[in-house]
Chains A and B, each alone.
Chain A
Amino acid sequence: MFILQHTGGAPLVAGTNTAADSIIKLAGGINVVSDYEGYKPLSPEAAVNLAPEILLLTTQGVEQAGGEESLLLVPGVALTPAAKEQHIIAMDALLLLGFGPRTAEAALELNRRSNDL
């Protein structure tokens, strides 16, 4: 599950047809959110229901959220399996979502890091 940003209100989570969705697929992962397109606020309860194993964020997103500790306090996020196991991957926004020459590198890194968890 990719969280674009969570500051205030519900977290903005990537659905299908997003750069985040594509990079997750390229890295061999499954985006648990498949019911809507684009970035939308995800209901905290739905986040629990979808039970993501890994939370993917941009480093900028983590910074804006006030670090991983406060991210884990967010309603809904806190109850996911990913949060319980502390499986959070943060990558640079341009590398992860830019879809430029470095995309292959990004997909490989994402794949390696999610297997390492």
Chain B
Amino acid sequence: MNFLLKPVLVPLFFMQLKIPVLLLLGILLLTTGMIAASIGAVSIPLTGIIGVNLTDQQEAVLTSIRLPRILLAVIVGGSLAVSGAAMQGLFRNPLADPGLIGIATSAALAVALVLVLAGPMAGFFGLYGLSLAAFLGALLACFIIFRFARLTGSFSVTYMLLTGIAINALSAAGVGFLTFLSDDQQLRTLTFWTMGSLGGALWVSVLVATTIVVPTGLLLVRNARELNILLLGENEARYLGVDEERLKRTIIICTALSVGAAISVSGIIGFVGLVVPHLVRLIFGPDHRLLIPASALLGAILLLVADTIARTIVAPAEMPVGILTSLIGGPFFLWLLVRQFSGRTGL
């Protein structure tokens, strides 16, 4: 029965909801991308993006600085938002985001360790050492959370959440201690790193991030149906035939890989993972089949806008983009809280 219905229902569902919304967001992203490509310290007319009448300098800036940066903003923003959406679904907790369970902080700890203790490194590691460290730090956090969750025998999300919070605190302590040890230059680098920046965008980082973020994102979308069922509760999901242990493992691993890749190329960018899924839920409802891809697009749009502001507002200097996303995200989040509570409980 199910087998027969599926081919009919799925296209119907796509036609009713998914395609128009996603298409709209896609077009919006494309437009934002075009506009972002034309704004910057070196001004490039909108028509110039298609490649007509560019001076050598404009062309060089466009292809080797601005385009990789825009693509990186799209990838990182999408990755953070998708991971946030998946984690909020998994933990059934509106506050969950990659920062909460310690992934971001332990990446920061790994970066601080490399920066302060490893000293200068030559060649390849000089350029990519910090990225590698951040990636490994993020994966390590995920691994530790797993080991501890397995100790309890049941992969309980509560334990995972609490373990994550403990890891968060421990890593923060570690970062604090290394801050204490660091010299002036190291401290500067570390501080700016924790505020995030897409200024180091190279084609290499775009490629590496894409190869990790896109497959994991698709995997998360494939698990959207099961995430929907999980919203009923862990036991209920199990009764309905969801292999929840596998689901949890898939989601944690995918988000860790995705966020690890994002953080490693951009540093810590706050609030995209937290706020974007909420925004999508408010507008289009909580169905993960739509929530995850729509979050990806909206996250990409948001980070792209924030980064474009970051690199132009104080030109020739540039603002750490993490400041801007938090600055936009913070008030919005407060508004969201007030709205939710005043509506439902009459506060």
Residue numbers of A with Cβ under 8 A of B are 4-5, 7-12, 15, 33, 35-36, 39-50, 60-61, 63-67, 69-70, 73-76, 78-79
| Cβ < 8 Å to A, chain B residues 32-71 | 40-42, 57, 60-61, 64-66, 68-69
With contact pairs A7-B115, A60-B120 given, residues A43 and B189 touching in the complex (Cβ less than 8 Å): no
Query: Considering residues A8, A64, A69, which has the most beta carbons from chain B within 10 angstroms of its beta carbon?
Result: A8
Contact partners of A36 in chain B: CB under 8 A: 314, 316-317
Contact B185 A44 (CB under 8 A): no
Residue of A nearest to B310 (CB): A43
The 5 closest A-B pairs by CB, nearest first: A66-B126, A10-B199, A9-B197, A46-B316, A63-B120
Contact B318 A66 (CB under 8 A): no
Report the bound CA distance from A43 to B317 in whole Å. Answer: 5
Contact B126 A8 (CB under 8 A): no
- Chain B contact-residue range equals 35 or more
Report the bound CA distance from A8 to B186 in whole Å. Answer: 11
Residue of B nearest to A76 (CB): B65
Report the bound CA distance from A64 to B314 in whole Å. Answer: 27
Tell me the interface secondary structure of chain B in the complex.
Answer: helix
Contact partners of A10 in chain B: CB under 8 A: 197, 199-200, 318
Contact A9 B199 (CB under 8 A): yes
Contact B124 A73 (CB under 8 A): no
Q: List 16 A-B contacts (CB under 8 A).
A: A8-B130, A9-B320, A11-B199, A12-B189, A36-B314, A39-B188, A41-B317, A43-B311, A43-B317, A45-B66, A63-B122, A64-B185, A65-B126, A66-B122, A66-B126, A73-B202
Query: Considering residues B111, B120, B131, B188, which has the most beta carbons from chain A within 10 angstroms of its beta carbon?
Result: B120
Contact partner, A43, options B129, B185, B267, B316, Cβ 8 Å: B316
Report the bound CA distance from A31 to B61 in whole Å. Answer: 22
Contact A45 B40 (CB under 8 A): yes
Query: Considering residues A4, A33, A47, A66, which has the most beta carbons from chain B within 10 angstroms of its beta carbon?
Result: A66
With contact pairs A45-B61, A67-B122, A78-B64 given, residues A50 and B199 touching in the complex (Cβ less than 8 Å): no
Contact partners of B320 in chain A: CB under 8 A: 9, 41
Contact partners of B135 in chain A: CB under 8 A: none
Residue of A nearest to B57 (CB): A48
Given A63-B120, A65-B126: 19 more A-B contacts, CB < 8 Å? A5-B188, A7-B115, A8-B189, A8-B267, A10-B197, A12-B192, A39-B188, A40-B317, A40-B318, A41-B192, A42-B317, A42-B318, A43-B199, A44-B199, A45-B65, A49-B316, A66-B127, A73-B127, A79-B60
Contact partners of A44 in chain B: CB under 8 A: 65, 69, 199
In whole Å, how far is A54's beta carbon from the nearest beta carbon of chain B? 18
Report the bound CA distance from A10 to B111 in whole Å. Answer: 16
Contact A67 B188 (CB under 8 A): no
Query: Is B315 close to A, CB under 8 A?
Result: yes
Contact partners of A63 in chain B: CB under 8 A: 120, 122
Report the bound CA distance from A80 to B40 in whole Å. Answer: 17
Contact partners of A47 in chain B: CB under 8 A: 316
In whole Å, how far is A75's beta carbon from the nearest beta carbon of chain B? 5
Contact partners of A67 in chain B: CB under 8 A: 122-123, 126
Contact partners of B91 in chain A: CB under 8 A: none
Contact B199 A64 (CB under 8 A): no
Report the bound CA distance from A58 to B192 in whole Å. Answer: 19
Contact B189 A49 (CB under 8 A): no
Query: Is B121 close to A, CB under 8 A?
Result: yes
With contact pairs A15-B317, A43-B311, A43-B317 given, residues A49 and B65 touching in the complex (Cβ less than 8 Å): no
Contact partners of A73 in chain B: CB under 8 A: 127, 202
Contact B315 A46 (CB under 8 A): yes
With contact pairs A70-B123, A79-B60 given, residues A48 and B200 touching in the complex (Cβ less than 8 Å): no
Report the bound CA distance from A40 to B188 in whole Å. Answer: 10
Report the bound CA distance from A68 to B309 in whole Å. Answer: 31
Contact partners of B68 in chain A: CB under 8 A: 75
Contact partners of B314 in chain A: CB under 8 A: 36, 40
Contact B120 A42 (CB under 8 A): no
